[in-house]
Amino acid sequence: MDDFIAARSQMALSLGFHIIYSCIGMVMPVFMAISHYKWIKTKDPVYKNITIAWSKGVAIFFATGAVSGTMLSFELGLLWPGFMKHAGPIFGMPFSLEGVAFFIEAIALGFFLYGWNRLNTWFHWVTGIVVGISGIASGILVVSANSWMNSPSGFDFVNGKYLNIDPLKAMFNEAWFSEALHMTIAAFSATGFAVAGIHALMIYRKRNVHFHSKAFKIAIIFGAAAAILQPLSGDISAKGAAKRQPAKLAAMEAYFHTQEYAPLVIGGIPDTAAKKVNYGIEIPGLLSFLVHDNFKQQVNGLDKIPVKNQPPIAVTHYAFQIMVGFGMLMMLIGVLYFIALWKKKSWFDKGWFLKMFIWTTPAGFIALEAGWTVTEVGRQPWIIQGVMRTSEAVTPMPGIQYSFYLFTFIYFTLSVFVIFLLKRQIQMVPELYDR
Amino acid sequence: MLYVVILFLFAAITLYFLLGGADFGAGIIELFTSNDNKHRTRKTSYQAIGPIWEANHMWLIITVVILFVGFPTIYSEMCVYLHIPLLIMLLGITARGTAFAFRNYDAIKDEKTQGFYNHIFVYSSFVTPMFLGIIAGSALSGQIDPSAKTFAGAYIFSWLNWFSVSVGLFTVALCGFLAAIYLIGECTEVYDIKRFIKKAKAMNIAAVVLGALVFLASHFEHVHLADWIFGNLLSLAAVIAATLSLVLLWFIISDKKNKQWIRVLAAFQVSMILISVGHTRFPRFVIFKDGSSMSLLTDHATGKSIDDLGIGLLVGSLFILPALGYLYYSFKKKGNEAIEEH
C-alpha cells in the first residue's frame, strides 16, 4: 500500500471511529441530565435508574472517546507534520479551548459519576449539565478547526509563507457556524435514534417495559426533533459549499457541466470518463434553486475546475446520496413519532411502530459517517482548501501501512469491546437498574 | 506572553508526571504485587484514582496542544523522528485507559474478563511511562538525525539507544514510587500501609539504581548529562534538594501522622528532578545529532498565536484549577469513607 494512501486511510479510520464515540459522549449526558431532572422533580425511581444506567454508558464512551481523541491529537502530527508545522499556530485556538472544555468535562464527569449521596442534589445535577455543555462545546470547537481547513482564513498566504496570523479570525472562519450547527444536530439525531432503537428493541421483547419506555421517550424526542431540523441546516451548508468549495458541491451532486436550470441528480452512477451520470433521476432546475434560490441561475460544474484540483467524484457523490437518504428517512420517522405522540397514542403498542425504530438504530450514524466522508473527501486534493495539498503534508516516514493495519486492528477490537460491554449493561438492566 | 506559555508547558508536563504518572504507577505497583495481595492493591488504587483519573490525563492533552500551537516545528519534528515511540505510547494510553474504564464499568464482573482487563491494565501501565521516558530521553540524547540516510538511522536509533531506554526505565521507577507514596495515605489498614511502605522503598531503590544507570548510559552515548547538571547552579541545587527531600522522606515514611507530608516530599523530589533536567538544557527542547537544537525561545509560533494561546491558557486555568481543586477536595480530603458508585 502506498504510504500516502495508508496515511489517509488511517486518518479516516481514526476520525470515523472517534466521531461515533464522541457524539455519544456529548449527547448522552444531555439525556442523562433530563432524566436526572425528572427524578429530582417526580421522585419516580425509574428515572434515577435510567440516569444511572445511562451514566455507565457515558463513562464507557467517554473513556473510549478520550483515548481516541488523544490518539488523534498525536496522529495529526504523526501523519501530517507538514500540515501541522504551518497550521498549528493558525487553527490552534479552537484546539486550546477544546483542551480546556475537555478538561472541565472530565472534572465534571468525576463529580457526576461518584457524587451520588455525597453531593448536594442540585450541585450534582449541575455537574451532569456541565458534562453535557462542555462536551458539546468541545465538539463545536473541533468542528471549527475542521471548518478552517475547508474555508481557511486568519492569515495571508504570500510566496509560500503564512503571514499576519490571526487565530481568532481563523476560528470564526466563514464555514464554522454552518458546520458546527450541522454537526451538533447530527450528533443529537444520530445518538437519539441509536439510543431509542436499543430501548425500542427491549420494549418489543417485553423486557422491563416501563423502564425502557421512559428511556425511549427522552432519547427519541431529541432524535426526532433534530432529524426534522437537520435539512434546514443542510441547506445552509450546501449553499456555503457552493460559494466556498464549488468543486465539493459539484462532486456531491456529480454535476459535470456548467449550465442554467441546473438539475439535481438523485442516485445514479457517475461515469467520470464520459462526464455523465447513469441511471440517476434528474430534476431540472432544482440544484439552481437550492444554491441560488431561483430555478434559472447558472451553477458552476466540474468543467470549471482543473482535473488536478477535483476531489474523487464517485465517492463524494455516493456518500452524499447516502447521507441525504438516511437523513430523509429519519425525518419522516421523526414526523411519525410526533403524530403518534399527539394524535395516535395507540401506535406505541404496535409492532410495526417499534420495529421502525429498531431498524433505524444505526441510521443516524450511517448518515453521519457519510456526511463526514462528503466533507473530507470532497475537500481533496487539499488539506487546506486552495492553500496546501494533502500530499504535501504527509510524513516522510515510510511504512505507514503497518501503522494503518495496527490502528485498524485496535479500533475494531475497541469497538467489539464497547459493543460487548453495552450488551452486558443491557442484559443486566433487570438486576442492576430496574429491580 | 511567550514565557507564560513556556511556564504552562513545563507546569503541564510536571503535573502530568505527578498525577498521570502516579496513575501509571498504580498499575506498576499492581504488576509487582503478589497474587494474594493483588485484589487489595486494586481496591486501594481504585479508591485513589477512580474519580480523578480522567482529569489526571488531561495534562497530556494540554501539553500536546501547547506544543503544536505554540511550537509547531518542534512538535512536527518530534512527530517525524520519534514516530515509533510516540505510536507505542499511544497504544499504551489507549489500552490502559480503556482497560481501566472497562473493568470498572463491565456490568458483569466475572473472573475471566476481569482478569483480561487486569492484564492489559498492568502491562500498559508499565509500557506507557517507559515510552514517555524514552521520548523525553531522546529529545535530549542528541541521537535524532535528520540527515540520516537509512530508515533505522532516522526512525529507530533516534530513540533506541542506552540513554533513552534507561531514562524510560527510570521514569517507570519514579511513577511506581509516586504511586506507592500516594497510596500509603489511601489505606485504612495497617497491613496495607506496611505493604505500600515496602513498595515505596523498593521503588525508590530501583529509581536510584536506574538513575545511576542513566548517568552511566549518558557517558557511553556521549550525552554530557553530568556536566549539564553539575555545571549549572540551579540544576545542581534542584538535585541536592531532591536528595535531601528523599533522606527526609525515609525518616518520616513510617510515621502515620505524616501522610500528607510524605506525599508532598515525594512530589517535591520528582519535580526537582524535572526542573533540574529541564533547566539544564533550557531553552533547548530537542537536540539533534549534529549538535544543533530547537529552542523554545526561537522556534515558536509568531506573535499573535503565542499571545492568544497564552490568554487562552490563563483564562482556561481560571476555570480548570478551582474545579480541579474542588474535585480533589471532595474525594480526597473530605471522604475517607469508601467511594461508592451506583
**Residue A344: band (very low, low, confident or very high) from pLDDT cuts 50, 70, 90:** confident
C-alpha distance from A74 to closest chain B C-alpha (Å): 8
Q: What is the mean pLDDT of chain A?
A: 89
Q: Among A60, A167, A432, whose Cβ lies nearest the Cβ of B308?
A: A167
For residue B25, the model assigns a pLDDT of: 86
- At which residue does the C-alpha cell 487489595 appear? B40
User: Strands, DSSP E only, in B118-272?
Assistant: none
Over residues A257-263, the mean pLDDT reads: 87
Q: Could you tell me if A148 and A176 are in contact, meaning their C-beta atoms sit under 8 angstroms apart?
A: yes
Residue B186's closest CA among B26, B16, B300? B26
Cα gap A307→B6, rounded to integer Å: 45
DSSP SS3 for B284: strand
Sign of dihedral through CA atoms B66, B70, B74, B75? positive
**Residue A216: band (very low, low, confident or very high) from pLDDT cuts 50, 70, 90:** very high
Closest residue in chain A to residue B106, using alpha carbons only:
A421
**Residue B198: band (very low, low, confident or very high) from pLDDT cuts 50, 70, 90:** confident
Q: What are phi and psi of A255, to 5 degrees?
A: -105, 100
For residue B51, the model assigns a pLDDT of: 67
Cα gap A212→A199, rounded to integer Å: 5
Over residues A337-359, the mean pLDDT reads: 88
Hey, is the C-beta of B149 within 8 angstroms of any chain A C-beta?
A: no
C-alpha distance from B108 to closest chain A C-alpha (Å): 7
Residue B188 has pLDDT above 80, yes or no: no
Residues written for chain A = 435
Around Cβ A339, how many Cβ atoms within 10 Å? 11
Residue B56's closest CA among B6, B99, B91, B21? B21
For residue B336, the model assigns a pLDDT of: 47
- At which residue does the C-alpha cell 428493541 appear? A201
**Distance in angstroms between the alpha carbons of the first and the last residue of chain A:** 54
How far are the Cα atoms of A231, A241, A317, A320, B302 from residue A267, in angstroms, in the given order? 18, 20, 8, 9, 48
> Residue B22 corresponds to which cell in the numbers above?
502516579
Contact B51 A414 (CB under 8 A): no
Q: What is the pLDDT of residues A4-42, one digit of tens each?
A: 999 999 999 999 999 998 899 889 999 999 999 999 999
Most confident of A91-105, A371-385, B36-50, B302-316: A371-385
Q: Could you tell me if B276 and B214 are in contact, meaning their C-beta atoms sit under 8 angstroms apart?
A: no
Over residues B168-179, the mean pLDDT reads: 90
- At which residue does the C-alpha cell 504518572 appear? B21
Over residues A401-415, the mean pLDDT reads: 91
Is the model more confident about A233 or about B277?
Answer: A233
Q: What are the b/e assignments for B247-258, b being 16+ CB within 10 Å?
A: ebbeeebeeeeb
Residue B142's closest CA among B235, B215, B225? B225
Cα gap B225→B217, rounded to integer Å: 10
Residue B341 has pLDDT above 70, yes or no: no
Contact A71 B93 (CB under 8 A): yes
Residue A219's closest CA among A364, A71, A393? A364
Interface residue of A68, A114, A142, A426 to substitute, partner B, most B CBs within 10 Å: A114
Q: Could you tell me if A93 and B308 are in contact, meaning their C-beta atoms sit under 8 angstroms apart?
A: yes
Residue A134 has pLDDT above 80, yes or no: yes
Over residues A106-112, the mean pLDDT reads: 87
Least trusted range by pLDDT, from A427-431, B4-8, B24-28: A427-431
**Chain B residues within an 8 Å CB radius of A100:** 312, 315-316, 319-320
For residue B169, the model assigns a pLDDT of: 93
Q: What is the 3-state secondary structure (H, E, C) of chain A?
A: CCHHHHHHHHHHHHHHHHHHHHHHHHHHHHHHHHHHHHHHHHCCHHHHHHHHHHHHHHHHHHHHHHHHHHHHHHHHHHHCHHHHHHHHHHHHHHHHHHHHHHHHHHHHHHHHHHCCCCCCHHHHHHHHHHHHHHHHHHHHHHHHHHHHHHCCCCCEEECCEEECCCHHHHHCCCCHHHHHHHHHHHHHHHHHHHHHHHHHHHHHCCCCHHHHHHHHHHHHHHHHHHHHHHHHHHHHHHHHHHHHCHHHHHHHHCCCCCECCCCEEECCEEECCCCEEECCEEECCHHHHHHHCCCCCCECCHHHCCHHHCCCHHHHHHHHHHHHHHHHHHHHHHHHHHHHHHCCHHHHHCHHHHHHHHHCCCHHHHHHHHHHHHHHHHHCCEEECCCEEHHHHCCCCCCHHHHHHHHHHHHHHHHHHHHHHHHHHHHCHHHHHCC
**Chain B residues within an 8 Å CB radius of A78:** 79, 83, 86-87
C-alpha distance from B78 to closest chain A C-alpha (Å): 9
Contact B327 A111 (CB under 8 A): yes
Residue B337 has pLDDT above 60, yes or no: no
Interface residue of B57, B62, B86, B98 to substitute, partner A, most A CBs within 10 Å: B98
Q: Among B55, B90, B340, whose Cβ lies nearest the Cβ of A110?
A: B55
Residue A325 has pLDDT above 90, yes or no: yes
Hey, is the C-beta of B72 within 8 angstroms of any chain A C-beta?
A: yes
Do the strands A388-389 and A382-384 form a parallel or antiparallel pair, or are they unpaired?
A: antiparallel
Over residues A253-272, the mean pLDDT reads: 86
Residue A226's closest CA among A181, A283, A188? A188
Hey, is the C-beta of B335 within 8 angstroms of any chain A C-beta?
A: yes
**Chain A residues within an 8 Å CB radius of B77:** 81
What proportion of chain B, given as a percentage, has pLDDT over 70?
94
Q: What is the pLDDT of residues B199-231, one digit of tens each?
A: 888 888 888 898 889 888 888 888 878 788 887
Residue B248's closest CA among B235, B261, B239, B234? B261
Around Cβ B297, how many Cβ atoms within 10 Å? 12
Hey, is the C-beta of B114 within 8 angstroms of any chain A C-beta?
A: no
Interface residue of B131, B318, B319, B342 to substitute, partner A, most A CBs within 10 Å: B342
For residue A426, give every residue at least 6 positions away whose Cβ sits within 8 Å of its Cβ, in sequence order, or none. Answer: A198, A202
Residue B129 has pLDDT above 60, yes or no: yes
Closest residue in chain A to residue B107, using alpha carbons only:
A425
Closest residue in chain A to residue B317, using alpha carbons only:
A100
Interface residue of A11, A55, A85, A111 to substitute, partner B, most B CBs within 10 Å: A85
Residue A116 has pLDDT above 50, yes or no: yes
Cα gap A227→A194, rounded to integer Å: 12
Q: Could you tell me if A38 and A49 are in contact, meaning their C-beta atoms sit under 8 angstroms apart?
A: no
Over residues A400-421, the mean pLDDT reads: 91
Cα gap B151→B153, rounded to integer Å: 5
Hey, is the C-beta of B316 within 8 angstroms of any chain A C-beta?
A: yes
What proportion of chain B, given as a percentage, has pLDDT over 90?
16
Contact A424 B108 (CB under 8 A): yes
Over residues B183-196, the mean pLDDT reads: 80
For residue A366, give every residue at least 6 positions away whose Cβ sits within 8 Å of its Cβ, in sequence order, or none. Answer: A322, A326
Residue B241's closest CA among B205, B265, B209? B265
- A26, amino acid identity: M
Instruction: Count chain A–chain B contacts defined by CB atoms under 8 A.
Output: 213
CA angle B208, B210, B212 (to 5 degrees): 70
Residue B334 has pLDDT above 50, yes or no: no
Hey, is the C-beta of B338 within 8 angstroms of any chain A C-beta?
A: no
Cα gap B149→B170, rounded to integer Å: 31
C-alpha distance from A118 to closest chain B C-alpha (Å): 9
> Residue A84 corresponds to which cell in the numbers above?
501541522
C-alpha distance from A104 to closest chain B C-alpha (Å): 6
Most confident of A85-94, A251-260, A329-338, B222-231: A329-338
What proportion of chain A, given as a percentage, has pLDDT over 90?
45
For residue B55, the model assigns a pLDDT of: 74
> Residue B330 corresponds to which cell in the numbers above?
471532595
> Residue A49 corresponds to which cell in the numbers above?
435508574
Query: What is the value of pTM for the model shown?
Result: 0.89
Contact A99 B316 (CB under 8 A): yes
Q: Could you tell me if A265 and A253 are in contact, meaning their C-beta atoms sit under 8 angstroms apart?
A: yes
Q: Could you tell me if B183 and B107 are in contact, meaning their C-beta atoms sit under 8 angstroms apart?
A: no
Residue A376 has pLDDT above 90, yes or no: yes
Cα gap B137→B129, rounded to integer Å: 12
For residue B256, the model assigns a pLDDT of: 66
Over residues B232-256, the mean pLDDT reads: 79
Segment holding B14, helix H or strand E: helix B2-15
For residue B49, the model assigns a pLDDT of: 67
> Residue A330 corresponds to which cell in the numbers above?
429519519
Q: What is the mean pLDDT of chain B?
A: 84
Q: Could you tell me if B96 and B128 are in contact, meaning their C-beta atoms sit under 8 angstroms apart?
A: yes
**Chain A residues within an 8 Å CB radius of B305:** 89-90, 92, 165, 167
